[in-house]
Structure 1
Amino acid sequence: MKLTHQWLSIVEGCILTALGLYLLNSSSLLISGTAGVGMILSTLTSLTFGQLFFLLNLPFYILAWRALGKEFAIRTFVAVSLLSALSELFKHIVYIELHPIVSAILGGLLVGFGLTILFRHNASLGGLNILAVYLERRFKIHAGRTTLVADICILMAAVLVLDVWGLLFSLLAFLCLSSVVGRYHRPPKWAQNTETKHA
Protein backbone atom coordinates (compact mmCIF):
# COMPACT_ATOMS: atom_id res chain seq x y z
CA MET A 1 0.00 0.00 0.00
CA LYS A 2 2.80 2.43 0.90
CA LEU A 3 4.63 1.71 -2.37
CA THR A 4 1.43 2.27 -4.36
CA HIS A 5 0.88 5.58 -2.57
CA GLN A 6 4.41 6.71 -3.39
CA TRP A 7 4.15 5.92 -7.10
CA LEU A 8 0.71 7.53 -7.36
CA SER A 9 2.15 10.63 -5.73
CA ILE A 10 4.99 10.66 -8.27
CA VAL A 11 2.46 10.45 -11.11
CA GLU A 12 0.44 13.28 -9.56
CA GLY A 13 3.57 15.40 -9.19
CA CYS A 14 4.45 14.85 -12.85
CA ILE A 15 0.94 15.77 -14.00
CA LEU A 16 0.98 19.02 -12.02
CA THR A 17 4.45 19.87 -13.33
CA ALA A 18 3.54 19.02 -16.93
CA LEU A 19 0.45 21.23 -16.76
CA GLY A 20 2.49 24.07 -15.26
CA LEU A 21 5.12 23.75 -17.99
CA TYR A 22 2.39 23.70 -20.64
CA LEU A 23 0.99 27.00 -19.34
CA LEU A 24 4.45 28.54 -19.37
CA ASN A 25 5.26 27.22 -22.84
CA SER A 26 1.94 28.47 -24.18
CA SER A 27 2.97 32.01 -23.21
CA SER A 28 6.61 31.54 -24.30
CA LEU A 29 7.84 31.81 -20.72
CA LEU A 30 10.63 29.90 -18.99
CA ILE A 31 11.09 28.04 -15.74
CA SER A 32 14.16 26.95 -13.83
CA GLY A 33 16.50 24.00 -14.03
CA THR A 34 16.78 21.49 -16.84
CA ALA A 35 13.24 22.33 -17.92
CA GLY A 36 14.29 25.94 -18.47
CA VAL A 37 17.33 24.85 -20.47
CA GLY A 38 15.08 22.59 -22.54
CA MET A 39 12.68 25.47 -23.19
CA ILE A 40 15.53 27.70 -24.39
CA LEU A 41 17.01 25.02 -26.65
CA SER A 42 13.59 24.18 -28.11
CA THR A 43 13.55 27.68 -29.62
CA LEU A 44 17.00 27.17 -31.13
CA THR A 45 16.68 23.58 -32.44
CA SER A 46 14.14 21.42 -34.24
CA LEU A 47 13.66 19.17 -31.21
CA THR A 48 10.59 19.49 -29.00
CA PHE A 49 10.74 20.35 -25.30
CA GLY A 50 9.81 16.79 -24.31
CA GLN A 51 12.62 15.32 -26.42
CA LEU A 52 15.20 17.81 -25.15
CA PHE A 53 14.14 17.39 -21.53
CA PHE A 54 14.62 13.63 -21.74
CA LEU A 55 18.00 13.89 -23.49
CA LEU A 56 19.41 16.60 -21.21
CA ASN A 57 18.76 14.48 -18.14
CA LEU A 58 20.59 11.37 -19.32
CA PRO A 59 24.03 12.34 -17.88
CA PHE A 60 22.54 13.18 -14.47
CA TYR A 61 21.31 9.63 -13.84
CA ILE A 62 24.90 8.55 -13.20
CA LEU A 63 25.22 11.14 -10.41
CA ALA A 64 21.85 10.14 -9.01
CA TRP A 65 22.74 6.43 -9.01
CA ARG A 66 26.19 6.86 -7.41
CA ALA A 67 25.52 9.69 -4.96
CA LEU A 68 21.83 9.38 -4.11
CA GLY A 69 21.08 5.68 -4.48
CA LYS A 70 19.51 3.26 -6.93
CA GLU A 71 15.95 3.83 -5.72
CA PHE A 72 16.20 7.59 -6.18
CA ALA A 73 17.76 7.20 -9.65
CA ILE A 74 15.03 4.81 -10.81
CA ARG A 75 12.21 7.03 -9.54
CA THR A 76 13.80 10.07 -11.12
CA PHE A 77 14.18 8.27 -14.46
CA VAL A 78 10.51 7.29 -14.36
CA ALA A 79 9.46 10.84 -13.40
CA VAL A 80 11.54 12.42 -16.18
CA SER A 81 10.26 9.94 -18.76
CA LEU A 82 6.66 10.47 -17.65
CA LEU A 83 6.98 14.25 -17.71
CA SER A 84 8.53 14.12 -21.20
CA ALA A 85 5.65 11.96 -22.43
CA LEU A 86 3.02 14.16 -20.76
CA SER A 87 4.57 17.29 -22.26
CA GLU A 88 4.26 15.79 -25.73
CA LEU A 89 0.70 14.62 -25.02
CA PHE A 90 -0.51 17.94 -23.61
CA LYS A 91 0.54 19.70 -26.82
CA HIS A 92 -2.15 17.71 -28.64
CA ILE A 93 -4.99 17.40 -26.12
CA VAL A 94 -4.82 20.61 -24.05
CA TYR A 95 -5.57 24.09 -25.28
CA ILE A 96 -5.42 26.88 -22.73
CA GLU A 97 -4.73 30.49 -23.62
CA LEU A 98 -4.07 32.84 -20.72
CA HIS A 99 -2.50 36.23 -20.16
CA PRO A 100 1.26 35.81 -19.57
CA ILE A 101 0.93 37.09 -16.00
CA VAL A 102 -1.68 34.43 -15.21
CA SER A 103 0.39 31.77 -16.98
CA ALA A 104 3.46 32.82 -14.99
CA ILE A 105 1.66 32.63 -11.63
CA LEU A 106 -0.29 29.42 -12.25
CA GLY A 107 2.59 27.75 -14.10
CA GLY A 108 5.11 28.59 -11.38
CA LEU A 109 2.78 27.41 -8.62
CA LEU A 110 1.92 24.15 -10.38
CA VAL A 111 5.57 23.32 -11.08
CA GLY A 112 6.44 24.21 -7.48
CA PHE A 113 3.81 21.91 -6.02
CA GLY A 114 4.74 19.15 -8.47
CA LEU A 115 8.40 19.35 -7.47
CA THR A 116 7.50 19.38 -3.77
CA ILE A 117 5.49 16.17 -4.19
CA LEU A 118 8.37 14.50 -6.04
CA PHE A 119 10.96 15.61 -3.48
CA ARG A 120 8.83 14.18 -0.67
CA HIS A 121 8.63 10.80 -2.38
CA ASN A 122 12.32 10.27 -3.11
CA ALA A 123 12.25 11.45 -6.72
CA SER A 124 13.07 14.52 -8.77
CA LEU A 125 12.92 15.79 -12.34
CA GLY A 126 16.60 15.26 -12.93
CA GLY A 127 19.27 17.80 -13.78
CA LEU A 128 19.48 20.61 -11.26
CA ASN A 129 16.75 18.95 -9.20
CA ILE A 130 19.19 16.10 -8.58
CA LEU A 131 21.78 18.63 -7.49
CA ALA A 132 19.23 20.29 -5.19
CA VAL A 133 18.36 16.99 -3.51
CA TYR A 134 22.05 16.02 -3.27
CA LEU A 135 23.00 19.31 -1.57
CA GLU A 136 20.06 18.98 0.80
CA ARG A 137 20.97 15.42 1.78
CA ARG A 138 24.70 15.94 2.17
CA PHE A 139 24.98 19.57 3.32
CA LYS A 140 21.43 20.39 4.52
CA ILE A 141 21.10 23.22 1.99
CA HIS A 142 17.38 23.68 1.45
CA ALA A 143 16.24 22.66 -2.04
CA GLY A 144 14.41 25.99 -2.40
CA ARG A 145 17.70 27.92 -2.17
CA THR A 146 19.35 25.79 -4.82
CA THR A 147 16.41 26.18 -7.19
CA LEU A 148 16.45 29.94 -6.64
CA VAL A 149 20.12 30.15 -7.70
CA ALA A 150 19.30 27.99 -10.71
CA ASP A 151 16.42 30.33 -11.56
CA ILE A 152 18.77 33.30 -11.68
CA CYS A 153 21.21 31.50 -13.99
CA ILE A 154 18.44 30.37 -16.34
CA LEU A 155 16.97 33.87 -16.37
CA MET A 156 20.36 35.30 -17.39
CA ALA A 157 20.59 32.80 -20.25
CA ALA A 158 17.00 33.61 -21.26
CA VAL A 159 18.17 37.02 -22.49
CA LEU A 160 19.07 35.19 -25.71
CA VAL A 161 15.47 34.20 -26.50
CA LEU A 162 13.09 36.48 -24.57
CA ASP A 163 12.18 40.12 -24.66
CA VAL A 164 11.97 42.31 -21.55
CA TRP A 165 8.36 41.38 -20.76
CA GLY A 166 9.07 37.69 -21.26
CA LEU A 167 11.97 37.95 -18.83
CA LEU A 168 9.85 39.76 -16.23
CA PHE A 169 6.99 37.27 -16.48
CA SER A 170 9.45 34.35 -16.33
CA LEU A 171 10.98 35.89 -13.21
CA LEU A 172 7.49 35.98 -11.70
CA ALA A 173 7.11 32.27 -12.47
CA PHE A 174 10.52 31.57 -10.89
CA LEU A 175 9.52 33.41 -7.72
CA CYS A 176 6.21 31.52 -7.48
CA LEU A 177 8.00 28.19 -7.87
CA SER A 178 10.67 29.02 -5.28
CA SER A 179 8.05 30.33 -2.87
CA VAL A 180 6.10 27.08 -2.99
CA VAL A 181 9.17 24.84 -2.63
CA GLY A 182 10.57 27.03 0.12
CA ARG A 183 7.37 27.06 2.19
CA TYR A 184 6.03 23.55 1.68
CA HIS A 185 9.05 21.33 1.14
CA ARG A 186 10.44 19.68 4.26
CA PRO A 187 13.41 17.30 4.08
CA PRO A 188 11.83 13.84 4.55
CA LYS A 189 13.19 10.94 6.58
CA TRP A 190 14.98 9.41 3.61
CA ALA A 191 17.15 12.54 3.34
CA GLN A 192 18.47 12.01 6.85
CA ASN A 193 18.94 8.27 6.29
CA THR A 194 20.96 8.84 3.14
CA GLU A 195 23.18 11.35 4.88
CA THR A 196 24.11 8.64 7.39
CA LYS A 197 24.78 6.07 4.66
CA HIS A 198 27.08 8.38 2.70
CA ALA A 199 28.92 9.80 5.72
Structure 2
Amino acid sequence: MRSIAICIVIHALILVTYFGITSFTPTYIAISMGKSLAEAGLLFLVFPLSEILGGLVGGYMASRIGSKRVLMISLLSIFIGAVAIPFTKSEIYVVPILSMIGLMFRAAATTLPLIVVENTPRHILGAILGWYNSIGFVGASIGPYMFGYIADLHGFFLSYIALSFFPLMSIMLLRMFKTGYVAKNT
Protein backbone atom coordinates (compact mmCIF):
# COMPACT_ATOMS: atom_id res chain seq x y z
CA MET A 1 0.00 0.00 0.00
CA ARG A 2 2.94 2.34 0.62
CA SER A 3 3.85 2.09 -3.08
CA ILE A 4 0.33 3.10 -4.08
CA ALA A 5 0.37 6.09 -1.72
CA ILE A 6 3.70 7.20 -3.18
CA CYS A 7 2.26 7.01 -6.72
CA ILE A 8 -0.77 9.06 -5.70
CA VAL A 9 1.43 11.79 -4.16
CA ILE A 10 3.70 11.79 -7.23
CA HIS A 11 0.63 12.23 -9.44
CA ALA A 12 -0.46 15.27 -7.44
CA LEU A 13 3.04 16.77 -7.58
CA ILE A 14 3.30 16.23 -11.33
CA LEU A 15 -0.03 17.97 -11.87
CA VAL A 16 0.98 20.95 -9.71
CA THR A 17 3.85 21.48 -12.13
CA TYR A 18 1.85 20.62 -15.25
CA PHE A 19 -1.02 23.01 -14.61
CA GLY A 20 1.29 25.72 -13.27
CA ILE A 21 3.29 25.63 -16.48
CA THR A 22 0.32 25.31 -18.84
CA SER A 23 -1.60 28.13 -17.14
CA PHE A 24 1.05 30.82 -17.33
CA THR A 25 3.65 29.99 -19.98
CA PRO A 26 1.80 31.67 -22.90
CA THR A 27 1.56 34.85 -20.80
CA TYR A 28 5.22 34.56 -19.85
CA ILE A 29 6.20 34.17 -23.52
CA ALA A 30 4.13 37.23 -24.46
CA ILE A 31 5.62 39.40 -21.72
CA SER A 32 9.25 38.24 -21.80
CA MET A 33 9.63 37.95 -25.58
CA GLY A 34 7.43 40.86 -26.60
CA LYS A 35 4.95 38.67 -28.48
CA SER A 36 1.23 39.14 -28.82
CA LEU A 37 -0.94 36.70 -26.89
CA ALA A 38 -1.89 35.04 -30.19
CA GLU A 39 1.77 34.58 -31.14
CA ALA A 40 2.56 33.27 -27.66
CA GLY A 41 -0.34 30.83 -27.88
CA LEU A 42 0.92 29.64 -31.25
CA LEU A 43 4.42 29.08 -29.84
CA PHE A 44 2.94 27.24 -26.87
CA LEU A 45 1.02 24.95 -29.24
CA VAL A 46 4.12 22.75 -29.49
CA PHE A 47 3.52 21.70 -25.87
CA PRO A 48 0.19 19.87 -26.36
CA LEU A 49 1.22 18.63 -29.81
CA SER A 50 4.32 16.99 -28.35
CA GLU A 51 2.11 15.32 -25.74
CA ILE A 52 0.53 13.28 -28.53
CA LEU A 53 3.89 11.70 -29.23
CA GLY A 54 4.74 11.51 -25.52
CA GLY A 55 1.91 9.11 -24.77
CA LEU A 56 3.01 6.78 -27.54
CA VAL A 57 6.70 6.97 -26.64
CA GLY A 58 6.05 6.61 -22.90
CA GLY A 59 3.91 3.51 -23.34
CA TYR A 60 6.32 1.90 -25.79
CA MET A 61 9.37 2.61 -23.64
CA ALA A 62 7.60 1.37 -20.51
CA SER A 63 7.18 -1.98 -22.26
CA ARG A 64 10.88 -2.01 -23.15
CA ILE A 65 12.74 -0.62 -20.16
CA GLY A 66 10.08 -0.48 -17.45
CA SER A 67 7.63 2.10 -16.19
CA LYS A 68 9.77 3.26 -13.30
CA ARG A 69 12.74 4.11 -15.54
CA VAL A 70 10.55 5.99 -18.01
CA LEU A 71 8.99 7.92 -15.13
CA MET A 72 12.41 8.81 -13.67
CA ILE A 73 13.70 10.04 -17.04
CA SER A 74 10.49 12.01 -17.60
CA LEU A 75 10.60 13.69 -14.20
CA LEU A 76 14.25 14.63 -14.59
CA SER A 77 13.55 16.09 -18.05
CA ILE A 78 10.57 18.07 -16.72
CA PHE A 79 12.76 19.47 -13.93
CA ILE A 80 15.46 20.54 -16.40
CA GLY A 81 12.88 22.06 -18.76
CA ALA A 82 11.06 23.98 -16.01
CA VAL A 83 14.36 25.44 -14.82
CA ALA A 84 15.38 26.33 -18.39
CA ILE A 85 12.20 28.20 -19.39
CA PRO A 86 12.92 31.44 -17.50
CA PHE A 87 16.41 31.58 -19.01
CA THR A 88 15.11 31.50 -22.59
CA LYS A 89 14.71 34.85 -24.26
CA SER A 90 13.91 33.68 -27.78
CA GLU A 91 11.39 31.39 -29.42
CA ILE A 92 14.31 29.48 -30.95
CA TYR A 93 15.02 28.12 -27.48
CA VAL A 94 11.57 28.02 -25.90
CA VAL A 95 9.98 25.84 -28.62
CA PRO A 96 12.33 22.84 -28.14
CA ILE A 97 12.12 23.16 -24.36
CA LEU A 98 8.32 23.21 -24.42
CA SER A 99 8.33 20.27 -26.83
CA MET A 100 10.53 18.26 -24.48
CA ILE A 101 8.44 19.14 -21.44
CA GLY A 102 5.18 18.23 -23.20
CA LEU A 103 6.61 14.94 -24.43
CA MET A 104 7.91 14.04 -20.98
CA PHE A 105 4.76 15.09 -19.12
CA ARG A 106 2.68 12.76 -21.27
CA ALA A 107 5.24 9.95 -20.99
CA ALA A 108 5.01 10.29 -17.20
CA ALA A 109 1.21 10.44 -17.34
CA THR A 110 1.20 7.23 -19.36
CA THR A 111 3.56 5.25 -17.14
CA LEU A 112 2.47 6.26 -13.64
CA PRO A 113 -0.97 4.61 -13.90
CA LEU A 114 0.77 1.45 -15.12
CA ILE A 115 2.80 1.39 -11.92
CA VAL A 116 -0.36 1.87 -9.85
CA VAL A 117 -2.16 -0.97 -11.63
CA GLU A 118 0.84 -3.30 -11.36
CA ASN A 119 1.08 -2.72 -7.62
CA THR A 120 -2.57 -2.74 -6.59
CA PRO A 121 -4.52 -5.83 -5.57
CA ARG A 122 -7.38 -6.40 -8.02
CA HIS A 123 -10.10 -6.28 -5.37
CA ILE A 124 -9.36 -2.60 -4.60
CA LEU A 125 -8.07 -1.44 -8.00
CA GLY A 126 -11.16 0.63 -8.86
CA ALA A 127 -11.09 2.46 -5.54
CA ILE A 128 -7.37 3.16 -5.79
CA LEU A 129 -7.66 4.50 -9.34
CA GLY A 130 -10.50 6.72 -8.14
CA TRP A 131 -8.28 8.12 -5.39
CA TYR A 132 -5.40 8.45 -7.86
CA ASN A 133 -7.47 10.60 -10.23
CA SER A 134 -9.12 12.66 -7.48
CA ILE A 135 -5.86 13.50 -5.72
CA GLY A 136 -4.38 14.44 -9.10
CA PHE A 137 -6.99 17.16 -9.43
CA VAL A 138 -5.94 18.54 -6.05
CA GLY A 139 -2.53 19.07 -7.64
CA ALA A 140 -4.16 20.50 -10.75
CA SER A 141 -6.01 23.02 -8.58
CA ILE A 142 -2.95 24.07 -6.60
CA GLY A 143 -0.56 24.52 -9.55
CA PRO A 144 -2.03 27.61 -11.24
CA TYR A 145 -2.73 29.36 -7.93
CA MET A 146 0.74 28.67 -6.58
CA PHE A 147 2.45 29.75 -9.81
CA GLY A 148 0.39 32.94 -9.97
CA TYR A 149 0.95 33.76 -6.31
CA ILE A 150 4.72 33.38 -6.58
CA ALA A 151 4.74 35.31 -9.87
CA ASP A 152 2.80 38.16 -8.25
CA LEU A 153 5.22 38.34 -5.34
CA HIS A 154 8.56 37.54 -6.99
CA GLY A 155 8.08 37.33 -10.76
CA PHE A 156 7.89 34.58 -13.35
CA PHE A 157 11.51 33.52 -12.94
CA LEU A 158 11.08 32.36 -9.36
CA SER A 159 7.73 30.75 -10.19
CA TYR A 160 9.36 28.42 -12.71
CA ILE A 161 12.19 27.62 -10.31
CA ALA A 162 9.68 26.83 -7.53
CA LEU A 163 7.59 24.60 -9.82
CA SER A 164 10.70 22.72 -10.91
CA PHE A 165 11.12 21.36 -7.39
CA PHE A 166 7.93 19.27 -7.61
CA PRO A 167 9.39 16.87 -10.19
CA LEU A 168 12.52 16.66 -8.01
CA MET A 169 10.40 15.76 -4.99
CA SER A 170 8.67 13.16 -7.15
CA ILE A 171 12.04 11.64 -8.08
CA MET A 172 12.97 11.41 -4.39
CA LEU A 173 9.65 9.71 -3.64
CA LEU A 174 10.08 7.35 -6.57
CA ARG A 175 13.49 6.31 -5.24
CA MET A 176 11.71 5.03 -2.09
CA PHE A 177 9.34 3.02 -4.26
CA LYS A 178 9.70 -0.73 -4.50
CA THR A 179 8.33 -2.31 -7.64
CA GLY A 180 6.35 -5.45 -7.15
CA TYR A 181 3.67 -7.33 -8.95
CA VAL A 182 1.13 -7.45 -6.16
CA ALA A 183 -1.79 -7.43 -8.57
CA LYS A 184 -0.68 -10.69 -10.21
CA ASN A 185 -0.47 -12.49 -6.89
CA THR A 186 -3.90 -11.57 -5.56
TM-score by length of 1: 0.37
Q: Which has the bigger relative contact order, CA under 8 A and spacing at least 6?
A: 2
**Structure with greater Cα Rg:** 2
